[in-house]
Amino acid sequence: MEVNLRIPTSLNEITLGQYQEFVKLEQTLKDSTEVSIQLKMIEIFCSVPEAVVRSMKATDIAEICGIINLMFDSDYQLISKFTLKGVDYGFITELDNMSFGEYMDLDTFIGDNDNLHRALNVLFRPIKLNKGGRYIIEDYEPNDSEVAKDFPLDVVLGAIVFFYTLGKDLSVVMMNSLDKKNEKDLAQYLISQQNMDGSIQSMQSLTEILQNLKISLN
């Protein structure tokens, strides 16, 4: 049987919602065979029914899964701006000036796969003013989080790695700030992190990072 399907060639062609669905299923199928996971991988990331995947050649399945796996075995860099469905989105520009509600939602949901879109809704919002290379994003609206499920995965993983890296270093900066009794050290650090690459070589388990990721300061 000849099957026509669209194979993603970059993480930009996979959405956060698809990733969340796969991670959830992968956790459910953790004791299942590898072929069961491969079936779901193609069903979700290639957007084809399970019956269609079952009709494909086993060699084609293995090749496609290899292509998809290879996309995840890469560096993830912070992407500060992107366009989705005609709307320009920007990364939050003032990390040191987040409201308590923004900080609480980000800290609560960035390590929770089922609610990861709610964390991304804090980090990326529509740009309401863009001038001279600088931009201002819309105010935070917790109820707008569903749109984040359509965010491209390279944007999502770049932000996750950014905060994973930030979380590893932040405790050291906090201790130095306390030792010096200089609160400006923390603000300076947070601002400087917005210009970093935010990359980690070949992360072996994005799911594990999601489970361990927290940016709490206490």
- DSSP codes, 6-51: ----SGGGSBHHHHHHHHHHHHHTTTS-HHHHHHHHHHHHTT--HH
At residue 152's C-alpha, the angle toward residues 35 and 154, to 5°, is 80
Domain containing 138 equals 81-212
Question: Is residue 100 a part of any domain in this protein?
Answer: yes
97 band by pLDDT with thresholds 50, 70 and 90: confident
Judge if 197 and 102 occupy the same domain.
Answer: yes
Q: Based on the structure, what is the number of domains in the chain? A: 2
Instruction: Give SS3 for 187.
Output: helix
Which residues have C-beta within 8 Å of that of residue 207, sequence separation ≥ 6? 23, 26, 27, 113
Instruction: Give SS3 for 215.
Output: coil
Which residues have C-beta within 8 Å of that of residue 96, sequence separation ≥ 6? 186, 187, 190, 191
Which letter does DSSP use for residue 130 in this model?
E
Question: What is the tens place of the pLDDT at every residue in 63-94?
Answer: 999 898 888 877 788 899 999 999 999 998 87
Question: Is residue 194 a part of any domain in this protein?
Answer: yes
Maximum CA extent, the chain: 70
Question: Is residue 5 a part of any domain in this protein?
Answer: no
pTM passes above 0.85 = no
Q: For the chain, what is the mean pLDDT? A: 77
Question: Is residue 54 a part of any domain in this protein?
Answer: yes
Judge if 55 and 128 occupy the same domain.
Answer: no
Judge if 49 and 90 occupy the same domain.
Answer: no
Higher pLDDT, 161 or 152: 152
Judge if 110 and 175 occupy the same domain.
Answer: yes
Judge if 29 and 122 occupy the same domain.
Answer: no
Query: Stretch 161-166: mean pLDDT, rounded?
Result: 75
**Single residue among 27, 55, 72 that ends a domain in this structure:** 72
Question: Is residue 153 a part of any domain in this protein?
Answer: yes
Judge if 132 and 193 occupy the same domain.
Answer: yes
Judge if 103 and 203 occupy the same domain.
Answer: yes
Structure token pair of residue 40? 């779901």
**Single residue among 43, 72, 101 that ends a domain in this structure:** 72
Judge if 175 and 87 occupy the same domain.
Answer: yes
Judge if 37 and 107 occupy the same domain.
Answer: no
Question: Is residue 1 a part of any domain in this protein?
Answer: no
Question: Is residue 2 a part of any domain in this protein?
Answer: no
**Single residue among 25, 45, 72 that ends a domain in this structure:** 72
4 band by pLDDT with thresholds 50, 70 and 90: confident
Judge if 183 and 115 occupy the same domain.
Answer: yes
Judge if 164 and 125 occupy the same domain.
Answer: yes
Percent of the chain past pLDDT 90, that is, above it, reads: 36
Query: Stretch 105-112: mean pLDDT, rounded?
Result: 86
End-to-end Cα separation, the chain, in angstroms: 58
